[in-house]
Structure 1
Amino acid sequence: MSEIERVGVVGAGQMGAGIAEVCARAGCDVVVVEQGGEAAEAGRERIRVSLDRAVDRGRLTGAERSAADGRLRFVTDVGELADRQLVVEAVIEDELVKADLITRIDKVLADPSAIIASNTSSIPIMKLAHGTDRPGNVIGLHFFNPVPVLPLVEVIGSLTTSPQTRERVEAFVTGTLGKQIVRAADRAGFVVNALLVPYLLAAVRMVETGRATPADVDRGMKLGCAHPMGPLELADLIGLDTVAAIAESMYAEDREPLYSPPPLLRRMVQAGLLGRKAGRGFHAYPEPGAGGG
């Protein structure tokens, strides 16, 4: 069983950049794919800022920062992933987009044992694997934002994911990346979001019905329950579009009314009030920055 050393990441937004960064810091050779040169450069800058922050906080030395940066290569062609042993897709939380991308990745990977992982927050892995010629090599790896800081990764195997794929991926996540794992069943929302998202939706409904303001909802949970962040602050950080997409996926599977996105959340997404990355969600943010879940 070969150790994973060559990694590909598709998508250099907040989550993809974080995944690429932790892989490079762990000593892996990393190829990052973005749609165009401007997006690739934005992803590169996002990682460099994060690496610089780690140096400033004493988590990396200058030499380690330079070495990690040197292990990253940014491209715009999925075909550049041909020699990768593991490819993680981290694009928009849309089933059709992810399924099409995973099919394309499958076609370019030269090694029949290469693994394709999805960083989906909620979409069942079976839905993403069935269009490939290697469903046994497709698995879910759900990282959490910010990836360089949070230690957890959900590992989600489908009915067709092979034991060898699970073993290799878990060894990589725990041994190479130094993360901790929880094993989740292939159900929409997995473990963390299946618990978290109904809580976030309940906070939205409380505001929608006029029972409390966003500020009071968040203050109540922080001061009354010792949560480090209020539910609406957290929803803004994740991105309200991502929260809505996760809720839609969970509702589509279980038809549980509590999983359905409230009308207020839908309208905010339609209006582009997506949270931190848009500068405004349930709260206002003077310096917009990308979220991710």
Structure 2
Amino acid sequence: MDMPAPYRGRFAPSPTGALHFGSLVAAFGSWLAARRADGEWLVRVEDLDPPREVAGAAEAQLRALARFGFEADGAIWRQSQRGEAYRAALDRLLADGLAFECHCSRSELASEGGIHRQCIPGAHRPDPAIRLRVPDGCDIAFEDAVHGRIVQRVDREVGDFVLRRADGLWAYQLAVVVDDDAQGITDVVRGADLLDSTPRQILLQRTLALPTPRYLHLPLVVDDDGRKLSKSLAALPVDPADPLPALRAAWTVLGQDTAALGGIAGRDALLAAAIAAFDPARIPRGPVAMSAALQHA
């Protein structure tokens, strides 16, 4: 009987600014899940989109993670250095007829809600995108550790999705699948804003004959009216010089027992208590209001 692979999780921030509270929740949740399982926790910088990146942001985020007590169990990976691996996977898909060049523009797909099922006749552009050929009737189902059974009809709800963009940049869906496999990731713990992307990634894993990790999607942080925090507010940085208030607020977002961290003054002691008390079954499915989290900061 094959023994299950040791737990290996990861946190994958995008260097578009300082570490903000939503990213801290994802980092804390993924770190806690790995530590609770006596597993490894890796960090991968998702620097695939240079026009959106802020100079020095990746290094600042890594320094902030260290100040919060989150040290990676291995070398930091940077997706900007992984182009050859993405190219190899894309070439396999193209050679097998599972991916194709697409000359359609977004405006040409607008009448279909942006969902690509067949190319616009006569469309041509000098810089075509590359899309995955999604089969008709493609249902992808998986069990999320928080949200339960998720089913997506990928052909109708998403369509043929992009693997390499028209501007030559690698698409997130391809990069994350290739890197999760290369790093031996067994468990993906991340924000619920990526829940909708998971069926695409599972389809791509199956198409490339790669293993599928377990998934757990953490709650979103919203304002008091239930709206997802705006980009400007979500981008407000946390204070790594005073980590305890933000850690306590993130602990609340994760639905954990606030009494378990009561009266603890030091960062390392708080993190040790958090590992001992962390219960994934308490993580809420729905969004959490920022004001509720701050009450316990």
TM-score (normalised: structure 2) = 0.28
What TM-score do the two structures reach when normalised by structure 1?
0.28
Q: Which has the higher helix share?
A: 1
| Structure exhibiting the larger radius of gyration computed from Cα positions | 2
